[in-house]
Amino acid sequence: MEQERKIPAHVAIIMDGNGRWARKRGLPRTMGHAQGARVVEQILEDADHMGIRYLTVYAFSTENWTRPDAEVKALMNLLRTYMKTSLAKCAKNNVRIRVIGDKTRLDPDLQASIAHLEQETAGNTGISFQIAINYGGRDELVRACRKIAGEIADGSVSPEAVDADLIDAHLDTAGLPDPDLLIRTCGEERISNFLLWQIAYSELYFSPLAWPDFSKEELERAIDAYNHRERRYGGLVG
Ligand code: FPP
């Protein structure tokens, strides 16, 4: 009997290649990001229909501030628009949104729209959508260490109580399961500081497609590849 296909509960995506996609078409890089934002919305819907429970995307890294001002502004404006326009869709589709990363460096109006969207969708029980903004895996671990150090200093946590679960609980992703599958698009085979702690046992899938060309079919291919992997978590074959 053919085995049933497993759907990963949590899929994380490094959306790469917006700039290359635009350049190939003689368009400004920002058009690549705009098309990328449309694809994010479509893939969220597709992931939901496929039964994926958590989707996490890398929208803006702690290193992306070094890009030209106009590009940073264009990316922030796309995120601003997304936060403002997706409330009705989230309500309709029962989507919960969370932003991971250091939000304190974002413009106050963007921080406010994020807080509003997070609050309004907090009770939704469908797919959980995490958007990483001003996110870096090392930065997240540094912030977690600082929080834990503060708790040790004020006596609420003892040094012996620091274990993997406690660290997990101080990350931006607290309460979320680790990604089962991490996808990176556009042929690059790097992690680029994304979810460093959380991907310890994730399966990796590198897609040749630029993010604006990513599709439901390519997501299906990634899940097929995931189904051919044997996850051992450091143990022996069962
Ligand atoms: C990488 O392509 C992509 C980014 C740095 C930005 C990703 C952002 C979006 C897809 C849009 C906003 C998202 C949401 C959630 C609405 P690149 O610019 O590094 O491409 P390149 O390597 O080809 O230059």
Per-residue pLDDT of 206-220, as tens digits, reads 999 999 999 999 999
- On whether the CB atoms of residues 181 and 223 are closer than 8 A, the answer is yes
Q: With 0-12 CB in 10 A as exposed, 13-18 as middle and 19+ as buried, what is 212?
A: buried
48 is catalytic: no
Separation between Cα atoms, residue 77 and residue 55, nearest integer Å:
22
183-234: pLDDT as tens digits: 999 999 999 999 999 999 999 999 999 999 999 999 999 999 999 998 788 8
- On whether the CB atoms of residues 23 and 193 are closer than 8 A, the answer is no
Domain ranges of the chain: 6-136+179-227
Amino acid sitting at position 173: T
So what's the pLDDT on residue 237? Answer: 73
- Paired tokens of 215: 């599709």
Nearest ligand 1 atom to the CA of 82 is 16
Distance from Cα 36 to the centre of ligand 1, integer Å: 7
H helix or E strand, kind and range, residue 164? helix 164-169
Give the CA count within 13 Å in the CB-facing half-sphere of 39: 26
139-152: pLDDT as tens digits: 999 999 999 999 99
User: How far from chain centre, in Å, is Cα 194?
Assistant: 8
Cα–Cα–Cα angle for 160, 162, 164, rounded to 5 degrees: 135
Work out the mean pLDDT of the chain and round it to a whole number: 97
Is the domain spanning 6-136+179-227 CATH 3.40.1180.10? The answer is: yes
Distance from Cα 160 to the centre of ligand 1, integer Å: 41
Nearest ligand 1 atom to the CA of 34 is 11
The answer to whether the CB of 179 is under 6 A from ligand 1 is no
pTM of the model: 0.97
Closest residue by Cα to residue 191 from 69, 49, 66, 12: 12
Separation between Cα atoms, residue 43 and residue 40, nearest integer Å:
5
So what's the pLDDT on residue 1? Answer: 52
- On whether the CB atoms of residues 167 and 152 are closer than 8 A, the answer is no
Pocket of ligand 1, candidates 13, 33, 129: which has the most ligand atoms within 8 Å of its Cβ, to mutate? Answer: 33
Closest residue by Cα to residue 129 from 167, 183, 168, 173: 173
Separation between Cα atoms, residue 65 and residue 195, nearest integer Å:
19
The active-site residue, picked from 18, 46, 48, 64, is 64
Amino acid sitting at position 140: E
The answer to whether the CB of 111 is under 6 A from ligand 1 is no
Overall average pLDDT of the 13-41 stretch: 98
Helices 216-227, 29-50: crossing angle, 10 deg rounding:
60
Exposure letters 152-165 (e unless 16+ CB within 10 A, then b): eeeeebeeeebeee
Cα–Cα–Cα angle for 213, 59, 220, rounded to 5 degrees: 40
